[in-house]
Structure 1
């Protein structure tokens, strides 16, 4: 039925296109070439007529063609790296030849990302992830990214979905939880960035991505830039900034799983002199899921203002506010046979009275002031607030037990948790950018100070029902011990009676109905208030001598943590680290660079950073280092970038789950990750976009007190991943206005977290998978129609998992239809 409706819509579109073709016969044909001052053609330049819907791009030979009404026309020609050309002309009839010459832009690099990005391509030329705008080819570390155009074309709405386009990055679970180069990065660990400032997310649910300009990942330890962070890399979410030209767009999406989504993006000058610019992104989502009992009700409002009082000063304010209502999905459980197909992928352990309500805000203010042509002051402050209200029925991470303590493999042990808590994060970054020239040496000097803190205030609390009922049936005992069998309430078969009824894996409907939790025995605990803060100073110089660039930087970080903050058992701990960063870039030709780098990482593992009061400890900090070599090249007038890298990362002190014990963590020894990555991003032709990558990663545990773990591939770290997505737009003939997108994603098999209770051959491995995706596009003036088909062929797969009771299945075949309008 949905397919017939879609085909009917496309037929209507074709008839509209035909009528437009007839009316176009009386128009003037304006055509010509766009070249630079040296006479070289510029493919991909945008040519538009002011006040009309006429817009096109030059082809590979720099040729453009527009159909216009006779009369006066104001022509605009734009291309990245060149100044805009505006030409007024009078058109009469027939064909008019008009050749355009563009002049290279002399724009100075920004110091803080305040001005919005005007380009509409997959390729991004520069990034601010190093606290100064740098061309990606000049950064001696691997950087992967996805622009808002790619995100929109693929119909994606979650960062966890976006990362399938990045080499060496994959999902760990449903949550804000990733693996980068074999090492886990999650939103609870406070190693996420928004606009280059440290924050953390709600972790359980990922917000809509409609307010993002791009998502980028700096690979490897980044502590020298941002403080404590994962050795695999750091994820930076860059928000959309105001533009100095008016753009407005709205879109509606409907599709599988009863999905409805509405988005809006408005930007432009707020004053006639353009000293105040605005941007407003809105998002609403109401969607069910292929998972039992799951849903998402999300609302996002993201306003942004830029004030430009003078050419030397810019001030920007960003706010991202998200309101999420859903249920917490702990994943798919399976039977004790470890057969992934023993239960349906839709199976969850929730009940209908579960809920998860989250409120999050990120408010940022940034200012940059240019003192001289080569000296500027920059400051940014980010305030994050998070509130969680949770009621969930979840697995106890173990099967139910019989009277002899033997696991009953079709019964999942259960807990009930009711929790309320808040978290507040403050980050300040102040620094100078100094770009002097001493003789033949050109410098890019960054020096500054960072302050960061996170606080879980007094007032958080949790009720937990777990374990087995005591013999008097007036309380619960945390674990069942066969030797003390007389202490427990037993059923007619002599098995201990659980406090929370076990979940029947072969009769889920009996367990998923609304539960009367008033009959459970709850243990009340306080979510221990925590507080940490850090003070850091750093200096870095990237100096250039001819074709060679050398980067040298050092950061000193002093970290202070309070456990049981503001209680009688308050405990204070301090740690510090010197964090170096070295790199070199050599330009063989203007479009071919080779690089090498060495960086070190550091991450305290305290009650605050772990965000788990029951984890145990104290733990030693994570320490890591990386050596990386690679090349970065650009082609087709810098429209296509190709990069390759090899690396080795070593880490000591990682935390893993303790087998058979809920929440408690243990520390292991050295881990190592070695690999190769290859990335392609940009345009092959002006109407042909592509992004592709391949990665090989051998990430293994070298030292552990648990013998079976040594030498095995790290959890959720596939050895091989590959992806390809391409979009081709038809620009001539009867199919003009149509576009076609095709994609494929491959992820190798992965181990789950090692469980010492089982022999190595019983450890769960989730299989490799290959997914095929496609999209159809059609533009009718300012209206765009888009149909996305995902997982064509309905491949059964898992995106990640923790253990045999917490597997995370990937979405089955699904379709999304989007109508967008720009005005």
Structure 2
């Protein structure tokens, strides 16, 4: 499959010059769009109806569009405006100026789907970039996935949408309660996940039914968002209010008892033409292919749009999610060998993971004049989680026992097959809360200084995390055999019968405070050459207070508080990129940027006891973006190299800077390097067909380490991913007057290859600095490659629609692993069906 995708992409690439230069033989159409109040209209789609190519208007309402000689029909459409078409005669080698076009407001018919179909991958706006520039002008890879695609694929979880973005993958699903994503060798934590431009705690699986689109900004985004991981950022954009009244109700059912009613309503508030609303939500209840695993969740997403003035809007958005599910650490492993089972459940009875997440966001946008705009965002998020669970399945007996000869100090391993698979379970409990506050201000504008054109971004942000994490001491519960639960295993002498008997262990209070100031300018040196330059300064404070609970005396636990010294960190994040556009539909780019990781762990100090500075990660990226076949197909290729040359590592005994007084001290002398290639191809609907395909290669490895072998790969990052999504709408072949006009079908495939988990083997003993006498106990686990193949069939008639999806048709078996203690199988063959009615 990989070879097929690569050959297809290479063939498309060979066609780039011929296709692109053919367009350059026509003329140029220029013009300007305004509203009824005379104000210029930005981000309105202007396209050639016959060719399908198009552009979006700039902030001053202007547009430039290359076209073949002859009479051309311009198709002009924008959300909330009446669609217009106008004829223009184009003369080869000349510029044709269209008189200013005024668009009328249409509050009753919004051509939302038509706009999506008119825009290619490189023409769609992406708010994650924070700048009003075309993606062809951005020296960085960006991929957007629209609602139409998410609905076609019946995306239930974010992991279902990965088949649309090359190089974005699931790293693990620890405990079955979350989906941890990553790209380019770096994990997406809560710092890298956003919803409507505001950080989102990804400790819970977000709701996909509310999404308008998913935006992925690949590579370094530190200049825009501060201390984010180097792999990229993910922004989830929810559905927005509309003045046109409408909506839908639906019901999704599926394998393993899935039952999910969904609703979405929107429209003007009363008869107002200044205030609109939207309310969508869902309830979900399901069992699982995993024994004893259940889940239920409730989600509501209300929003209001206020048109305060003709140039100023305010959007208020709320988000509430209650998610309850059985924590499930999977099937376990013995001596880094995965146990054979897809369904075996190892957790204790009554295990629960309960999460409540509430957020509010206010976005104020004001167009100051034709060239300048200001946007302010304020947000709050509350996250509460309680987990009642057994311990993770580690330390499962491998059927051997080690005995040491006290005279010779030689250890020998003896077989004890009757113990194989025995494991002692215990009860554990954790509670955590998080309050998150953010304020952000961005000013964007366009102007000229001499021959230079400027698109300027100036911004500032400040946020704060207030965290409260409470842990209880784990207590023995019982013993089982993980291979045969019917085997009798003696219970431990001491055990507790319930979570309410667990004692407090520790409480950690944190209050991370951050602030950043940034400036970025896209310089148009000529029509073909552009340069993006900018810098950010970030400041962080991380005070932490830890409370330890002693053993109870007369039923009372004494508390000891330890207040860690507050850390103060700051870092500069520069960015420099160059874009060359030999033709209007092609851009070649090269860029440098960096990001940083604060070293805030308990051992992040040097041999003298001083705190370590943040680790700075350098990234180099080159690529090509193309709109081919008159904009019908977009093909983007990116190559990157990311180097963390000051990775922290423990100072080993025997090193020149080792301190016997601080045996856990660290140095910033290690190095990790990530390098790879990503290809993304997307088409517009053409003759009923639409395609999304891609491929990624990544190698993330230690390139300078005092413990691990240089060249050894880091865990969780697949070396290869490939994706293909193909959909066909039968109405293009059978016309609009037949029964088949509402029929559509599609296939989606997603390949993951050469992925590792477990624990990286160490060359030396960190405690002594010497080679292991009997070898390291750590091992890597090779995760089976797999190709997931899905198929779907949909039909729409009038206001009714139904879609059926069969997932993992080949019944592939693989796993998502965290170390060797959360081994979660992927879902087997399953189906989903969704019926909906449009209001």
Please give the TM-score of this superposition, normalised by the length of structure 1: 0.77
**Equivalent of residue 603 in structure 1, options 597, 603, 608:** 597
**Equivalent of residue 535 in structure 2, options 554, 568, 587:** 554
Q: Give the corresponding residue for 1:31.
A: none
- Where do 1:695-710 residues align within 5 Å? 695-708=696-709, 710=710
**Equivalent of residue 184 in structure 2, options 181, 187, 200:** 181
Which has the higher mean CA deviation after the structures are superposed, 758-767 or 695-704? Answer: 758-767
SS in 1 for 2:394: strand
Q: Number of residue pairs matched? A: 687
Which has the higher mean CA deviation after the structures are superposed, 374-383 or 394-403? Answer: 394-403
Unaligned runs of at least 5 residues, structure 2: 1-44, 55-70, 86-97, 104-110, 404-412, 548-560, 652-663, 763-774
CA distance in 2 between counterparts of 1:770 and 1:617 reads: 49
- Where do 1:269-668 residues align within 5 Å? 269-336=268-335, 338-340=336-338, 342-395=339-392, 397-400=394-397, 404=402, 409-457=420-468, 460-466=469-475, 499-508=476-485, 517-518=497-498, 522=502, 524-544=504-524, 545-564=526-545, 569-606=563-600, 621-652=614-645
Report how far residue 589 of structure 1 moved: 1.4
1:741 aligns to 2:746 (yes or no): yes
Answer whether contact 1:777 1:787 (CA < 8 A) is retained.
yes
Answer whether contact 1:397 1:413 (CA < 8 A) is retained.
no
- Write out per-residue CA displacement over residues 648-682 of structure 1, whole angstroms, 9 at most, x where no aligned residue: 01125668999xxxxx9999821111111111123
CA distance in 2 between counterparts of 1:245 and 1:609 reads: 57
Report how far residue 505 of structure 1 moved: 1.0
CA distance in 1 between counterparts of 2:632 and 2:81 reads: 17
Answer whether contact 2:700 2:714 (CA < 8 A) is retained.
yes
Q: Give the corresponding residue for 2:832.
A: 816
Report how far residue 684 of structure 1 moved: 4.8
- Write out per-residue CA displacement over residues 568-594 of structure 1, whole angstroms, 9 at most, x where no aligned residue: 524211011111011122222121111
Unaligned runs of at least 5 residues, structure 1: 1-35, 46-61, 65-76, 88-101, 108-114, 467-498, 611-615, 659-663
**Equivalent of residue 781 in structure 1, options 798, 802, 820:** 798
- Write out per-residue CA displacement over residues 617-662 of structure 1, whole angstroms, 9 at most, x where no aligned residue: 976533211111111111355343211111101125668999xxxx
Judging changes above 3 Å, is the alpha-carbon distance between structure 1 residues 787 and 443 closer, same or farther for their aligned structure 2 residues?
A: same
Report how far residue 737 of structure 1 moved: 1.6
CA distance in 2 between counterparts of 1:367 and 1:608 reads: 40
Answer whether contact 2:513 2:540 (CA < 8 A) is retained.
yes
Judging changes above 3 Å, is the alpha-carbon distance between structure 1 residues 764 and 347 closer, same or farther for their aligned structure 2 residues?
A: same
SS in 2 for 1:261: strand
SS in 2 for 1:501: strand
Please give the TM-score of this superposition, normalised by the length of structure 2: 0.75
Judging changes above 3 Å, is the alpha-carbon distance between structure 1 residues 292 and 183 closer, same or farther for their aligned structure 2 residues?
A: same
SS in 2 for 1:137: helix
Judging changes above 3 Å, is the alpha-carbon distance between structure 1 residues 118 and 537 closer, same or farther for their aligned structure 2 residues?
A: farther
CA distance in 2 between counterparts of 1:657 and 1:688 reads: 55
CA distance in 2 between counterparts of 1:605 and 1:686 reads: 54
SS in 1 for 2:227: coil
Judging changes above 3 Å, is the alpha-carbon distance between structure 1 residues 728 and 500 closer, same or farther for their aligned structure 2 residues?
A: same
SS in 2 for 1:571: coil
Report how far residue 339 of structure 1 moved: 4.1
Report how far residue 595 of structure 1 moved: 1.2
Answer whether contact 1:321 1:360 (CA < 8 A) is retained.
yes
SS in 2 for 1:126: coil
Q: Give the corresponding residue for 2:695.
A: 694
CA distance in 2 between counterparts of 1:815 and 1:150 reads: 18
Answer whether contact 2:375 2:441 (CA < 8 A) is retained.
yes
Report how far residue 761 of structure 1 moved: 10
- Where do 1:149-228 residues align within 5 Å? 149-174=148-173, 175-187=178-190, 190-201=191-202, 203=203, 205-228=204-227
- Write out per-residue CA displacement over residues 304-351 of structure 1, whole angstroms, 9 at most, x where no aligned residue: 111112111111111111011112222321333x443x3312223212
CA distance in 1 between counterparts of 2:327 and 2:650 reads: 20
CA distance in 2 between counterparts of 1:817 and 1:793 reads: 19
Which has the higher mean CA deviation after the structures are superposed, 396-405 or 242-251? Answer: 396-405
Judging changes above 3 Å, is the alpha-carbon distance between structure 1 residues 177 and 511 closer, same or farther for their aligned structure 2 residues?
A: farther
Report how far residue 440 of structure 1 moved: 3.1
Answer whether contact 1:775 1:789 (CA < 8 A) is retained.
yes
Answer whether contact 1:44 1:79 (CA < 8 A) is retained.
no
- Write out per-residue CA displacement over residues 265-288 of structure 1, whole angstroms, 9 at most, x where no aligned residue: 222222534211211111111011
Q: Give the corresponding residue for 1:14.
A: none
Judging changes above 3 Å, is the alpha-carbon distance between structure 1 residues 463 and 631 closer, same or farther for their aligned structure 2 residues?
A: same
Answer whether contact 1:132 1:433 (CA < 8 A) is retained.
yes
- Write out per-residue CA displacement over residues 765-817 of structure 1, whole angstroms, 9 at most, x where no aligned residue: 0111112110001111111110001000211122x212333222111000001
Report how far residue 751 of structure 1 moved: 1.1
**Equivalent of residue 756 in structure 2, options 748, 751, 754:** 751
Answer whether contact 2:53 2:631 (CA < 8 A) is retained.
no
Judging changes above 3 Å, is the alpha-carbon distance between structure 1 residues 609 and 542 closer, same or farther for their aligned structure 2 residues?
A: farther
Which has the higher mean CA deviation after the structures are superposed, 728-737 or 375-384? Answer: 728-737
CA distance in 2 between counterparts of 1:332 and 1:768 reads: 18
Judging changes above 3 Å, is the alpha-carbon distance between structure 1 residues 182 and 620 closer, same or farther for their aligned structure 2 residues?
A: same
Report how far residue 453 of structure 1 moved: 1.1
